[in-house]
Amino acid sequence: MKVIGLTGGIGSGKTTVARVFKELGIPVFNADEEAKKLYQREEVLQAVKQYFSDDVFTNDVLDFKKLGSVVFTSPEKLKWLNSLLHPLVGEVFEKWKSLQKGSWCIKESAILFESGSDKQCDVLVSVEVNEEERVKRVIARDGLSEKQVRDRMNKQMDDDSRQKKATYIIDNNSKLILRRGIHILNSI
């Protein structure tokens, strides 16, 4: 089975693109969603609690907003968290992929290149949108401040570097262009 790696900066519309691929019958694995599920594992929660203490918990429950505000302002803490989660997400992906039918599947990941997950992919697709639009989308979607959004953006690969590594780029500044880009990719 061939793997299409789908990535893009925060707020670029990766999930929208993935949904369209899903509508076309292509299986989609969302690495970010799977990473969140890993926090339900006792060993992951214990490791997070040991490393961060109670700073990222509210009433003994992991608080993702607190976790985000800590890791997106500390490169060292983000690196530690990624080193815990990325190998586990890779294992979950390989199990998921073995259960899929067809000749293609999608691996959607915000940090496909940064995590090394691009090495599991045959084709690399980056969804791109201008930076100001991305900031507006994330503020509306997640209720974050502009500073918080920009802190997260600064932890991701910049647009130019991501585009240079991508096999294909989908311009998501227009719904028409988005649909055409996906249609072309669906024919590969």
- Residue 164: what pLDDT? 93
Task: Give how many domains the chain has, as a whole number.
Answer: 1
Sheet strand arrangement including 168-171? 28-30, 104-108, 2-8, 123-128, 168-171
* Number of CB atoms found within 10 A of residue 4's CB: 23
d(CA 117, CA 91): 11
Q: Return the bridge partners of 105, or none.
A: 3
Q: What is this structure's pTM?
A: 0.83
pLDDT along the chain (188 residues), means of 10: 93 89 92 93 95 90 90 90 94 96 92 90 93 92 90 87 92 64 56
pLDDT at 108: 95
Q: Would you tell me how many other CB atoms lie within 10 Å of the CB of residue 14? A: 25
Residue 111 in any domain: the answer is yes
pLDDT the model gives residue 186? 58
Residue 155, domain member (yes or no): yes
- The domain spanning residue 7 has which CATH number? 3.40.50.300
The reported pLDDT for the residue numbered 55 is: 87
- For residue 177, the model assigns a pLDDT of 52
pLDDT at 126: 93
Considering the domain boundaries, does residue 54 fall inside one?
yes
Would residue 137 count as lying in a domain?
A: yes
Residue ranges making up the domain that contains 168: 2-183
pLDDT for 30: 96
* Three-state secondary structure readout of the chain: CEEEEEEECCCCCHHHHHHHHHHCCCCEEEHHHHHHHHCCCHHHHHHHHHHHHHHHEECCEECHHHHHHHHCCCHHHHHHHHHHHHHHHHHHHHHHHHCCCCCEEEEECCCCCCCCHHHHCCEEEEEECCHHHHHHHHHHHHCCCHHHHHHHHHHCCCHHHHHHHCCEEEECCCHHHHHHHHHHHHCC
Examine residue 29 and state whether it is found in any structural domain, yes or no: yes
Q: Establish if 188 belongs to a structural domain.
A: no
